[in-house]
């Protein structure tokens, strides 16, 4: 592997001094990831490293090509200090976001900029083996079109819904194979390191770092899509739990409704506060005779997608608005459990349905939270809607791969 900053990936054990130097180098990279143009004195001050030592470390990063000179400061008098920034083209990180009916693929540079992306690639689910082969085909096509040398790609991330054992690289829902974990199958097929993570966690990571939530403290990001999940960040670090299943808020048993959830249990939050629940409610109402512009959609293509409902809400469809209000109230009840347990600083509503957030969904959710949670606890929590919308998952997936590859998380 070309860059010494990634030595831990090869299983190299470092001596005490080398380990300390490696940690300092990573800290410099972390700071330059946030403050893109920084001088030696600025980095020295915020990282508590002497200026001579910082000069030594910086020259090493420059020689390797990880850092480049960004120019000179414009402030002060006398000789202007050189600024440094990460080299966006020294290495890359690939992210693949698997949605219900589509795939999004993006390539991130070392400086966290998205170099190239392709969205809304049609992805009709067939069977697990055929679908996995289709994913591999799309990855290879994207890499070929990008013309980026494969040895410059440090890692590949796969973001997908379901229960993910991140330690083993197993998906325990759609792509669960007896012979090998998906991680192993993909690594053999594309000859690159692969990291698999839950879609709610990648959305949370993207929202936290690209939605300007840094220093927000403890954050819960709710992924309100066809299902419902959450990503939890403690001071910017994702909470995984023992095997990576933390954040399964959709499977809190809250309702005595006898509805069987996709997990096999009854009364889960997901049965009342999710895209599936929304589609079920609207479809049942239309079957009972309720009028809606969505009747035309059903007749035309035979099923509803969340985007159809969002469009109907924006056009003032009463049934669609009623459905959103209904799941918003149930969502607030579920979030009240999270607030009482975690006392978070911020809860962000993300996912496809967050497109309806500020005007319609957010007020209903907030009202339900006030009704069902302890006021002394919910006073600490700010409820807001995603700033990134549907783009959060892909950028979060790329960034998680980058930071895992660097050993930052």
DSSP 331-386: HHHHHHHHHHHH--SEEEEESGGGGGIIIIIHHHHHHHHHHHS-HHHHTT-EEEE-
Q: Are residues 233 and 346 in the same domain?
A: yes
Q: Are residues 280 and 333 in the same domain?
A: yes
3-state secondary structure of 340: helix
Task: Quote the tokens at residue 76.
Answer: 């002060």
Q: Would residue 208 count as lying in a domain?
A: no
Q: Are residues 238 and 362 in the same domain?
A: yes
Integer Cα distance of 31 and 17 in angstroms: 21
The pTM (predicted TM-score) of the whole model is 0.89
Each residue's pLDDT tens digit in the chain (409 positions)? 467 677 654 445 667 788 888 889 999 999 998 888 899 999 999 999 999 999 999 999 999 999 998 776 666 555 678 899 999 999 999 999 998 888 999 999 999 999 999 988 998 777 888 889 999 999 999 999 998 999 999 999 999 998 899 988 888 887 788 788 899 999 999 999 999 999 999 999 999 999 876 667 899 999 999 999 999 999 889 999 988 899 999 999 999 999 999 999 999 999 999 999 999 999 999 999 999 999 999 999 999 999 999 999 999 999 999 999 999 999 999 999 999 999 999 999 999 999 988 888 999 999 999 999 999 999 999 999 998 988 999 999 999 999 999 888 8
Please name every residue paired with 153 in a beta bridge, in sequence order, or none if there are none: 92
* Contact in structure between 332 and 249 (CB atoms under 8 Å): no
Integer Cα distance of 392 and 97 in angstroms: 10
Q: Are residues 258 and 378 in the same domain?
A: yes
- Structural domains counted in the chain: 3
The whole domain housing 147 covers 92-203+393-405
Q: Would residue 135 count as lying in a domain?
A: yes
Q: Would residue 102 count as lying in a domain?
A: yes
Q: Are residues 297 and 382 in the same domain?
A: yes
Q: Are residues 297 and 356 in the same domain?
A: yes
Q: Would residue 174 count as lying in a domain?
A: yes
* Contact in structure between 247 and 382 (CB atoms under 8 Å): no
The DSSP result for 125-186, as a single string, is: ---HHHHHHHHHHHHHHHHHHHT--GGGEEEEEEEESS-EETTTTEESSTT--SSS-HHHHH
CB atoms within 10 A of CB 334: 26
Q: Are residues 224 and 352 in the same domain?
A: yes
Please name every residue paired with 18 in a beta bridge, in sequence order, or none if there are none: none
Classify residue 66 as left (phi > 0), alpha (psi -120 to 50) or beta. Answer: alpha
Q: Are strands 170-171 and 228-234 parallel, antiparallel or unpaired?
A: unpaired
| CATH number of the domain that residue 104 is part of | 3.30.420.40
* Contact in structure between 106 and 94 (CB atoms under 8 Å): yes
């Amino acid at each position: 592997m070309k860059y010494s900053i990634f030595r831990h990936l090869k299983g190299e054990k470092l001596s005490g001094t080398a380990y300390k130097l490696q940690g300092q180098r990573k800290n410099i990279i972390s700071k330059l990831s946030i403050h893109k143009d920084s001088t030696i004195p600025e980095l020295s001050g915020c990282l508590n490293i002497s200026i001579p030592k910082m000069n030594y470390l910086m020259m090493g990063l420059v020689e390797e090509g990880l850092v480049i000179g960004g120019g000179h400061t414009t402030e002060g008098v006398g000789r202007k200090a050189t600024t440094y920034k990460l080299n966006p083209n020294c290495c890359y990180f690939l992210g693949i976001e698997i949605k219900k009916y589509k795939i999004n693929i993006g390539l991130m540079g070392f400086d966290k900029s998205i170099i190239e992306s392709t969205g809304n690639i049609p992805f009709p689910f067939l069977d697990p083996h055929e679908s996995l082969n289709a994913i591999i085909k799309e990855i290879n096509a994207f890499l070929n079109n990008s013309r980026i040398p494969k040895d410059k790609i440090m890692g590949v991330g796969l973001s997908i819904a379901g229960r993910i054992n991140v330690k083993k690289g197993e998906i325990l829902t759609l792509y669960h194979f007896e012979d090998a974990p998906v991680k192993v199958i993909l690594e053999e097929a594309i000859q690159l390191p692969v990291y698999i993570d839950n879609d709610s966690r990648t959305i949370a990571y993207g929202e936290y770092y690209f939605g300007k939530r840094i220093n927000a403290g403890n954050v819960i990001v709710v992924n309100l899509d066809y299902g419902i999940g959450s990503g939890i960040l403690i001071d910017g670090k994702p909470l995984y739990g023992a095997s990576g299943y933390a954040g399964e808020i959709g499977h809190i048993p809250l309702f005595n409704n006898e509805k069987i959830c996709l997990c096999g249990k009854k009364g889960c939050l997901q049965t009342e506060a999710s895209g599936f629940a929304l589609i079920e409610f609207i479809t049942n109402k239309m079957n009972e005779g309720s009028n809606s512009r969505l009747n035309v959609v059903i007749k035309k293509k035979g099923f509803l997608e969340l985007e159809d409902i969002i469009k109907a809400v924006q056009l003032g469809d009463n049934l669609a608005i009623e459905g959103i209000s209904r799941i918003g109230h149930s969502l607030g009840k579920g979030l009240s459990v999270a607030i009482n347990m975690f006392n978070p600083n911020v809860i962000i509503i993300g996912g496809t349905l967050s497109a309806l957030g500020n005007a319609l969904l957010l007020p209903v959710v907030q009202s339900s939270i006030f009704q069902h949670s302890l006021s002394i606890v919910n006073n600490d929590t700010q409820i807001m809607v995603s700033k990134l919308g549907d783009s959060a998952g892909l950028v979060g997936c790329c960034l998680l791969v980058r930071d895992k590859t660097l050993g930052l998380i």
